[in-house]
Structure formats: C-alpha cells, structure tokens
Amino acid sequence: MIRHMKRAIKSLTEEESKTLLLQIFHRVNMLDETAYSEKELIKDLHGMADEILCSLPVFNQSEEKQKEVHIIFGDSASGSLKFGLNQFGLTGHKKQVITFPDALSIGPVWKMDQPKGLKQRGAWMERHQMIFDEDASEYENQLSEACSAIRSIPEELPIIIWTGNNANEQTGLRLALSLLKGKTNEIRIINTSSFFSSDHAPVTPISTGEIQPETLMTIYKKNRNAALLTMEGRNTFENQWKELAATKEVLRIWEDEKVRSVPEDYFDALILKAAKHLQHKDRMLCMRLIGEVIGEIRDTQSIDDFYIEYRIRQLTRNGVLEIVSVPDKLRFCYLSVRSKNETVIKDFHTRAE
C-alpha cells in the first residue's frame, strides 16, 4: 500500500500536488469554521488517498483519445474534477481540464479578455496583497495562458463548463463564453448548485471547490448529456460579460440569479458589526474577525478571505479600527474598535441590519 502510494505521489504533477495540499488546508479550515466534523475529515482524507492510488493507470493514455474539454474555475475545484475524472476512468483527463485559477468575485474585470485588462487586474491584485507566490507579471501570464487555452480549443471537441451559484464561477462562465465567441463547439453547462437544490445534502456547498470528487462525478454522470447551450443562451451570456467588462468595480456578488457589481466597501458594515460582537477587553484577533465574517456570508457568497483582510486594512487606515499589536502580517494582529468613531460605527451598523 505504502509503496503504491509513494509511486502515485511521485507521478503527480507540481500543479496536482499543490491542488491536493490546497484541498487539505481547505478542509482543515472548514473544520474550524463550519459544522464539518473530524469524522467527515477522516473520511475525505481516505477518499483522497484512494483517488491518488486510482490515478496511476491513466497517465499513459494518449491525447488522441480526448473526447471533450472541461473548463472550471479555481484550483480546488479543478483538483477535485481531475481526480474524479480519473477515478471515473475517462482517458486523457490531464489534457481535458482547463483551469481558470483566479477568484473572479474580487478584483477588476474591466476588459479582462484583453491584455490591458489583465495587466490592470494584476497590478490591482498585487497592490492590495491578493497575490503572494508570484509577482504581477507572472500572475498575468497565468491568466493569459488560461484565456489562450480556452480560445484554442478545437471546434470539433464538445465543451463542458462547470459553474455554481456564486459570483466567482458565474463571472468565469460569462468570461469563458466570451472567449469562445464565434466558435461552433457544442457547449454544455453543469451548475453544481442545482444538484443540491433538493434533498441531496443537508448543506448546499456555495462553490464547486467545496464538493467531493465522487459527488462531482455523480453530478457529471447526471448532466454529461444535458441539453446543449443554445445560440440565444450564448448571446445572453456574452452580452452579460460585455456589461461586466465595462465596469470598474472590484467586488461582485451573486444575487437574484445575477452577478451584481457592488461598491468595494459592501461588506464593511458586516465587518464592523462582527468586530463589535467579538471585541473582548478592548481587542480581538484579526484572523478571528476574518473567520467570523466569512462564516456569516459563506451561505450566500463565495468571497476570498484575503478580500476581507484588505477591507479590514482599509478600515484601520480610515481610523475605524485600530491595530493594538503589530506582527509581520495583519491577520495575526490584535485589533480594537475605536470608540471615538462611534458615529461612523453606528452608521455602518445601520447599513448591516
């Protein structure tokens, strides 16, 4: 067993290894912030181990056997899909999945289907500390490569685009369809949120990245032959992308079955409300505040915690919150609500209610 596991791990690409690690961290975070239990964590870890072992037989499959292309948004969702496709026995899965790695609910999407838009987005993400492992140019290259991969899909291959009811994936769906404009590929959309609209699970995942590979495959089997996206539907999504790509806002939410651009301080009221609730003996840990806010919105929105940290940083600069201790990173600081800003805080609370 251990010998096979070592061989399977060695055969993983760097991207697959990072995705697997990200999935583990994501589930540990769920253990701290949600009703996700240790029993479920152990079960999921066993499942991941089984999926790694099952990945060995298909690595020698040829590209010629590729029958369809999957487009998915987010590294965690991509990792789960790749493991699932492999376990399901689909050939050439390593070349089938195109991953758009970014969180499109945050940051500018102005003209993002063009180089100048990607450059502006990269500069904004770097300036506000939303990217860490690479600089803005490397980040822009990753996005550019994803866009190019989508544009380069051969027209004879059918395409499946995965999405969920959240601003990140729904924005990505519209971007992907704009990049496919003019192509004649057969396109199907799989909305993972629709699977949970009945009684399939007690909790509905807000994003595809939260769904286990085996469940993704159940969704795939059910929808792989679903109705094709019509030309009218494609035109609608393409026009919606044009509207999004013309905006300068840096935050988007999913509301009333639509992607809505909102002011960047949209969640500030909730942050201040949570801060007042958490503050004990004149201070609170920033990381705890971030977790509280994410926990409040996770049932309806999928927003990266680095965006909440960015808004907390802005609130400290505006004098509404105060840093009590100063370690290297803001999220490890202790904060307090400044009493002299009581009028401002009261106004924020009114907006949050």
pLDDT at 38: 81
The amino acid sitting at 278 is L
What domains can you pick out in the chain, each with its CATH number?
Answer: 2-245 (no CATH), 268-352 (1.10.10.10)
Work out the angle between the directed axes of helices 115-127 and 136-151 (0-180°, nearest 10): 140
pLDDT at 345: 39
- pLDDT tens column, 175-222: 999 999 999 999 999 999 988 876 555 677 889 999 999 999 999 999
pLDDT at 41: 77
pLDDT at 340: 54
Contact (Cβ atoms closer than 8 angstroms) between residue 249 and residue 262: yes
Task: Please name the residues in contact with 239: beta carbons below 8 A apart, sequence gap of 6 or more.
Answer: none
pLDDT at 63: 43
319 phi-psi bin (left φ>0, alpha ψ -120 to 50, beta other): left
Q: Has residue 26 got a pLDDT over 70?
A: yes
Residue with the larger pLDDT of the pair 133 and 205: 205
Phi, psi of 270 (to 5 degrees): -65, -40
**Nearest alpha carbon to residue 210 among 150, 152, 162, 172:** 162
Cα separation, 50 vs 280, in Å, equals 45
pLDDT at 347: 43
Report the chain's C-alpha Rg in angstroms: 21
Give whole-number Cα distances, 45 to 31, 41, 185, 207, 218, in Å: 13, 6, 37, 20, 19
Phi, psi of 189 (to 5 degrees): -110, 130
Cα separation, 347 vs 351, in Å, equals 7
Q: Has residue 346 got a pLDDT over 60?
A: no
Residue with the larger pLDDT of the pair 270 and 198: 270
Which residue do the tokens 């965006």 mark?
307
pLDDT at 5: 60
Q: Has residue 274 got a pLDDT over 60?
A: yes
Contact (Cβ atoms closer than 8 angstroms) between residue 332 and residue 287: yes
How many helices and strands in the chain, by DSSP H and E?
A: 15, 9
Residue with the larger pLDDT of the pair 350 and 202: 202
Kindly indicate the confidence band of residue 349, based on its pLDDT and cuts at 50, 70 and 90: very low
Q: Work out the mean pLDDT of the chain and round it to a whole number.
A: 82
Q: What are the residues facing 252 on neighbouring strands?
A: 261
Residue with the larger pLDDT of the pair 313 and 8: 313
- pLDDT tens column, 37-64: 787 778 777 767 766 655 543 333 344 4
Please give the model's pTM, rounded to 2 decimal places: 0.76
Contact (Cβ atoms closer than 8 angstroms) between residue 80 and residue 88: no
pLDDT at 78: 92
- pLDDT tens column, 229-259: 999 999 999 999 999 999 999 999 999 999 9
Cα separation, 352 vs 272, in Å, equals 9
In Å, the largest CA–CA distance within the chain is 68
Q: What are the residues facing 191 on neighbouring strands?
A: 163
- pLDDT tens column, 302-327: 898 899 999 999 999 999 988 876 65
pLDDT at 43: 72
Which residue do the tokens 């791990």 mark?
9
pLDDT at 133: 63
Q: Which helix H or strand E contains 242, and what residues bound it? A: helix 231-245
Residue with the larger pLDDT of the pair 349 and 103: 103
Cα separation, 103 vs 75, in Å, equals 10
Q: Specify burial of residue 269 (Cβ count, 10 A radius: 0-12, 13-18, 19+).
A: middle
